[in-house]
Amino acid sequence: MKALFDKDVIGLNIILIGPPGAGKGTQASLIANKYDIPFVSSGDLFRDHRKLGTELGLLAEKYMNSGQLVPDQVTINMVMDWLAKNNGNNSGFLLDGFPRTVDQATALEKALGDKNSVGPSIYINVDQDQLIIRLTGRRVCMDCQLSFHIHSNPPIHEGKCDKCSATLTQREDDNFDAVRARLDAYKHNTEPLVDYYFKKNVLIEINGNKTIDQVSLDIIESLDRLNVN
């Protein structure tokens, strides 16, 4: 059967959208590994810049800490730079957390051109009360970035990473006020993208309230139904 998305002929350009705390990061690496495509999280790119103390990192920091979106043009330039380095032969990619506004979505389309469109766009939908519990209880390894949860996925030794024993920390934007601001920003700026991609006929909606493994299975099953090569 002919593949709808043949990543060796035309890029499998997966977009992951969903509220903060939906589990996009976890699913991103699983999907990208399965289909052997490069992936990036715009949030991670910003955190890398912040860690390195670059001009971009310093600018982004004040938005990130208060849970607001970094201005579009800054974000678009940063992600386009990543794409230029990682999608040279248009063989596909996965973006986690970008686009987050309609302007970012149109900038991405423009950059890809007519022959290499965006899709599928996977929308992980999770109930709001679940998101607050997930985000405020999240703890992240300072070294390897592995993520834990104080209730649903606690580390074996309190405050220490299971994988590398480094100290676990709470992301600055996982405190209650920042979480509220991030959810507001999502509702206001990013939720319109669900409708945007639905109308383009590339949206796959996934129920993200289930376990990580079940969500992965549901995503893979949906992609398999598209006959991704």
Kindly list the catalytic residues: 24, 100, 138, 171, 182
Nearest distance from C-beta of residue 7 to ligand AMP, angstroms:
23
Q: Which is nearer to ligand AMP, 176 or 217 (CB)?
A: 176
Classify residue 100 by burial, with Cβ atoms within 10 Å: 0-12, 13-18, 19+: buried
* Binding region for ligand AMP (CB under 6 A): 20, 41-43, 46, 63-64, 67-70, 75, 97-98, 100, 104, 173, 182
Order of strands across the sheet that contains 121-125:
39-41, 93-96, 13-17, 121-125, 203-207
Nearest distance from C-beta of residue 78 to ligand AMP, angstroms:
9
197: part of which helix (H) or strand (E)? helix 192-199
Query: Residue 147 contacts by C-beta under 8 Å, 6 or more apart in sequence?
Result: 25, 26, 138, 139, 140, 141, 153
Nearest distance from C-beta of residue 48 to ligand AMP, angstroms:
11
Nearest distance from C-beta of residue 79 to ligand AMP, angstroms:
7
Q: Of all residues in this chain, which one has the CB nearest to ligand AMP in the complex?
A: 43
Classify residue 90 by burial, with Cβ atoms within 10 Å: 0-12, 13-18, 19+: middle
Q: Which is nearer to ligand AMP, 173 or 218 (CB)?
A: 173
Query: Residue 10 contacts by C-beta under 8 Å, 6 or more apart in sequence?
Result: 90, 115, 116
Q: Which is nearer to ligand AMP, 46 or 123 (CB)?
A: 46
